[in-house]
Structure 1
């Protein structure tokens, strides 16, 4: 086995080891809105559940030369976002939303999603989407590498759930019908492959 200290690797090499091994990563498409009402879209794979009570999602937004990206700015300022699960049906549109537009221009100009009003927040959701979460900002965590601020971790509390009927089965989500897209490294993505179950072991002894 090869072993490396941080000092052995450049930042780029560290990134490659992380994104090439922490896979597959769930992908989210996040819609936000700036102070002028412009809707911003951006896909993220540094995304996951943080806790279910309260229901909190985490999205990490990398900074560019120390500057916050539009998604982070809009969430910190507006306190709201809609998080969509990227699936086979909308992955091509989600990829279009990765275009590097200035704040005054919406990615909707290229990624032709249909806007849909949210139920409890001002930021609109997107169609097509089989699963989306209306969220409010729970906590903003600034990530630093020594003195340099490198990322914004946004903890988002879910305030409303939207689920397509075809994927919903008595409070459970059918993963094959959701058909989510997972992020690998580089330009690579994947779909769900083989699904198997493992029962959690139980301790049969006496607690001391």
Structure 2
């Protein structure tokens, strides 16, 4: 029995009741310039992906810092407790049902984040290169501002994952390093690094 092209494609799951999906042409059938086009597009993706991740992470941290600052300011003025955060969490999740990151616990982390880094310019500069779960580790593990800054700078410079960051904090690496890390670098972590991958998984 001879099958039509449509029958063959249907057999391979390429035709549905509402749409037709032609078979992908062979690479050998492409024009001579196709390889250059493929390489050019792939290079744009390779270059743009880490920048897109960094930009999204920057906006996430700026938003979280702003929320934390709002909570701190209101608590300072009104003196209310955690029940307001619980109510705020419920209402935010009702208003933004598709959003993530508005649990009471995460709102408290935002408050702690703003308290730990009162100068927003620091957040905008080096800290914006670290994913949210790194920020939580710095908040939970370190009370000393200088140590927090040291480990944040080291994590940016070395591209540490959160687990590696926690390991070095627990091992008190700063006490064993003769040379202090004093500045955040401007280098973006590679798109396939643990740090970059964790940034894409952080809740918004």
TM-score (norm. length: structure 2): 0.25
TM-score (norm. length: structure 1): 0.24
Between Structure 1 and Structure 2, the one with more helix by share is 2
Between Structure 1 and Structure 2, the one with more strand by share is 1
